[in-house]
Structure 1
């Protein structure tokens, strides 16, 4: 089915998996020949441990791509090492912009202040696209309860021109995420307890006060709300996409 149009493939996969729970979607998808080569992309952020734990159970050798922007909190880097070891993940790949790219685009490390979109683009989006060029599909932790166009998110989402996104947690509620962490005794990102419900790069992430939107601490004071890895053709993509 890999030679079929992308939107047709997504429709067929969503129909086939429509009655599956998250763990079964993940378990079957990583070996489904209609999806081809699959990788998980993880930020090792506040909720990432749920999918990472599921992967450790069903396919501990699955490629896990972790983007080190070289501006992450030290706590995130330590958490990545802790979780990878604790869960027995054997194929975590740390990917980053090269020294040459950094010297060209952000030699003094201040681009995030003047053009945060450009900073995210070369430190995250370009890096991820380069790594994903080896895969036919990638697993994300996006969920309907996160709002916006994500309210219509399906398990399988076309990413033109030829790649598929797999969203095993699409139908989960916020409570489901928290319950899973507790029930499986999973380690929490240390910054969550310090008021960081959504964690990105250190210069662009601030604590969130009670009652604020969980993502209000990302790029606070600007119109920016996404880093760009969920954009297609320069546009924000959070839901259904037609090929």
Structure 2
């Protein structure tokens, strides 16, 4: 049933037809946006899974090397070797817009580009396993930052997909059908009013013709 609040006028009919055109276009655009968001979201999920496996493997490898290094070195020497880091990392955060979603972007720079600056100790009293552990952690830093980007982007895009899905459903199942019903209701009412007007006019015409006929019979 159409809403009883709708005025069955031609002005209202024109307004509803414009609303239907706008809602139909908006529905298509939102569906396209939802589908593209889903495609990019699935790409991010796959990348996120691959990065997580890579980062976890790198951390596991670094931990194993640290355990082996600790077994072959005294705790005092190990603590002294790692007490003061030599390299410095500067992290910068920004955003990029993906389908109206602001996803984070992390960029980092080191104080120097020398790969050996990650070792804050001399090699004379430390084991090679400690070197491997430090190198493993340094190597997975870019992947860790990219993993952080992907996980946050997945959260934001999932929220946007849900919001877009609700809008698509509202247009598809509520606004567009209701507008069509109201257009049909007004059209039927206008047609009914037009038929009623034509019938009244025909009756008036018949009455006028009948009255004119009586006038003629009386000789007026």
TM-score (norm 1): 0.19
Q: Which has the larger radius of gyration?
A: 2
TM-score (norm 2): 0.20
Higher RCO, Cα 8 Å, sep 6+: 2
